[in-house]
Structure 1
Amino acid sequence: MSGTARFERRLLTRDRGDGLLEKLWRIPWLFVLLLSAVAAVGYVALYSAGNGPEAYAAKHALRFGFGLVLMLSIAVVDIRVVARLAWVGYALGVGLLVLVLLHGNVGKGAQRWIDIGPLQLQPSELMKIMLALGLAAWFRRASWERVGNLFFLVPPAIMVLIPVGLILKQPNLGTGLITAMIGGAIFFAAGVRLWKFALILAAVGTAAPIAYDHLRDYQKARITTFLDPESDPLGAGYNIIQSKIALGSGGIWGKGFLQGTQGHLNFLPEKQTDFIFTMIAEEFGLVGALGTLGLLCLVVLFCYLVAFRCRHQFGRLLAVGLGTNVFLYVFVNIAMVTGSIPVGGVPLPLISHGGSAMLTTMLGFGLLLSVHVHRDAEFGPAQE
């Protein structure tokens, strides 16, 4: 029997004794409870943003309930089956990005969404998950020596550049940069040498002035506003100024549920999506804001713990990519609403209103739980 045949046979028989109940038992239910707590914070904030459940909160609860079923269903799927389908997922993600450029819906000056039945999907959100799958599949059996080969890194680099280029074409600068950073995190976790990252950073720094000249006018305005928001307080600087007023007015304990003035008097823009954290800080104060941030930090920490405890490279790299995605969601959103970085359309996971973001977030958590449940699964030997 050939080595390939023996491996395939072992792959099919390894976990034959692991039934559905055993896999459900291995799911970390405290983590599921943690996700539910974060979603509950989102429900409360969206209830306030919509002055009742009808506008946003009810949809948020239904989407989380559907996502919970999706997440638990994916969690019991053997991670080696996921690995075999990783390339299909990556190709699907790229195909959807091409489709959105050809036939996507235009909103707020960008072409980012496509209609799939009743769902309006933003493929760039899904692509971040699919990129993590594709890169984990590429590096999963690569030895340390092979990762050090520059030519071996060309195909995965192209795998990153293709979706990033398509996302920037929409245009969606924030999501494009986050997608590139997820790819960079997986490259780092796979063992790519630091000097290669230094070369890339140097090249990016050199090209930055040229790239700035090719930005859209509204993207340049965001950078200018970030540096001096008071230069246009009623125009480009309005959002961040109102966000800072709401953040500061909440004080330590907040103004109380449904009592926020900036949000309820409609001074705060996009309060149900990009600036939902500001709603929480205004009504529940510093205590509520830090509590929310603490819950999200625990979610990110669990993602990296899954990567640390996983025994196989595919699951380890996938968990790193998924954890980095959640971390960047949280970091960029909160840094944006506090004026630490330029404003961009990045939602807060499990809290902001949005079906596409909720679907892809729960899909990612389902894959993460599959890694955890099957953390001792055996793959083939490393390639020499």
Structure 2
Amino acid sequence: MTDVLISGASVAGPALAWFLRRAGARVTVVERAPGPRDSGYAVDFRGPALDVLAEIGILDEVRSHETRMRGVTMLAPDGSVTGELPASTFAGDLEVPKRALTRILHRVVDAEFLFDDTVTALEQHDDRVTVAFESAPTRDFDLVFGADGVHSAVRRLAFPGTDPIEHLGMSGAGFTTGNLLALDHQGLLQPAPGRAVYAFSADDPAAMTVSLSFATATAELDRADRAAQEAAVRAAFADHPWPQTPRLLAAMTAASDFYFASTCQVHLDSWSTGRVALLGDAGYCAAPTSGMGTSQALVAAATLARCLAEAGSDHAAAFTRYEKELRPYVTDNQHLGRQAVSTFGG
């Protein structure tokens, strides 16, 4: 029985864990967070990702949490209506709250979870990988998978000296507040050169999710503290003409779930080295603007697991086939991510 480690317990990690457990592997999942992540806003699924949910056996349950968004109203910077976008523009074929997907995946995955921990060292051998953790004892695994996001610890250790992150010129803050704009399964989008406001209310009528995006030359703010990040958002929107903007900025400061990130992509010549492979944002983030992050994570997990099953004990052949099959899909998604930056005001 193969003994594998997966770093990251968001979407790609638990999905891969489910498929590998079905194939008979022993699976350990290590996650930096102290427990299953209850953060995140809405995630959407498109095309083949629905087939993956069905294969795992959770499609109907996931559908029961559908946000049922009705569409997005386009606004000029002064608040006047300029048009409407269909719900599918942001919601894809199916959209659910991120926390609902996370809870479902964690419930159906039969694996050992190491929460509040992370990988600190990898030593590859011909027949195993020795992994050191921040808290847990050092252990050997047959294979290691990095599904730990754009700033992947596994990627940093397995691909030393590489800097595969490309900043696409936009950063932004996200947070939840009261439904200040009285939205009902509806979104508002104000795209403008250099900045954009997006707000929506979906599953909870009393709550509204807000995203304030603006042009940035680098991703340095990602490493700053919240005070500096908030200051940058306020500076970017200080002269914004929409009368609601000051209310949104005040709500940002009061929000308990404030989140800041830059719009980035990850580009690597290879997604594997030895007995270590990457999937999801860790290996090939397409940028949030692609609308394909969750779908790509699910499709990647299913593809990687199938390639491993078909290759038997030849992990190198499995990794080669996985990349050959998936890279065209990833390339298309990354193209979408680049195209959409301008729509969001980048």
TM-score by length of structure 1 reads 0.25
User: Which of the two has greater helix per residue?
Assistant: 1
User: Which of the two has greater strand per residue?
Assistant: 2
The structure number with the bigger radius of gyration is: 1
For CA contacts below 8 A with separation 6 or more, give which structure has more relative contact order.
1
